[in-house]
Amino acid sequence: MELTPNSFAMSVDAGGILEPWTSKIERRLSDMAGMYADPDAERDAIAAGDAVVYEVYQHDMPNHAGELVVCTTLLYPGKVGDEFFMTKGHYHEIRERAEVYYGLSGEGQLVLAKDDGAAEAIPMRPGTVAYVAPCWAHRTVNTGSEPFVFLAVYHGDAGHDYGTIETEGFPLLVLERDGEVAVVSRQEAQ
């Protein structure tokens, strides 16, 4: 039987890094290959320097429903073509698991999608608390000029299903159109 940790405290520093963190994920443009709608712009952006798109600082917990994983994500500003930098996005492996996001700094969109085609986007800023209901895929997008930083909390056994998003994509894209943020359907963007 896996032992659970005792109660403890964490903090988030001025840069959005969770302390203490036990694992870190760094995703570059090359790690996001195939995620952006414009493959030519994606190829050019990777060739131009393969920028870091986002970093996740996580405090790992035992892999069961009674535990909560806490992490912070630093999603950097940038675009591939006219599409803003974003996280890969995922469903939870256990689809019935929810998640909560809390905006710390910067601004962005939380993009949500369901298997049945339903989709929506929630604007996020510092202080925004967003609830991701069970069975919804989710990704975040930085629509500002500074890092978009948020804290997330989810069940320890939720897992991440990135494969579905890699093959099916998201039905909504977040683009810059005429100097404004636009949330459009994938078909509208083409």
Domain boundaries, the chain: 11-189
Residue 144: per-residue pLDDT: 97
Specify the amino acid at residue 9. A
1-50 pLDDT, tens per residue? 344 567 888 999 988 999 999 999 999 999 999 999 999 999 999 999 99
93-131 pLDDT, tens per residue? 999 999 999 999 999 999 999 999 999 999 999 999 999
Residue 1: per-residue pLDDT: 38
Separation in Å, CA 13 to CA 3, 19, 59, 67, 103: 29, 7, 14, 23, 14
What does 123-178 look like in DSSP terms, one character per residue? EE-TT-EEEE-TT-EEEEEE-SSS-EEEEEEEETT---B-HHHHHH--SEEEEEET
CA–CA separation, 188 vs 183, rounded Å?
10
CA–CA separation, 3 vs 89, rounded Å?
30
Which CATH class name applies to 11-189? mainly beta
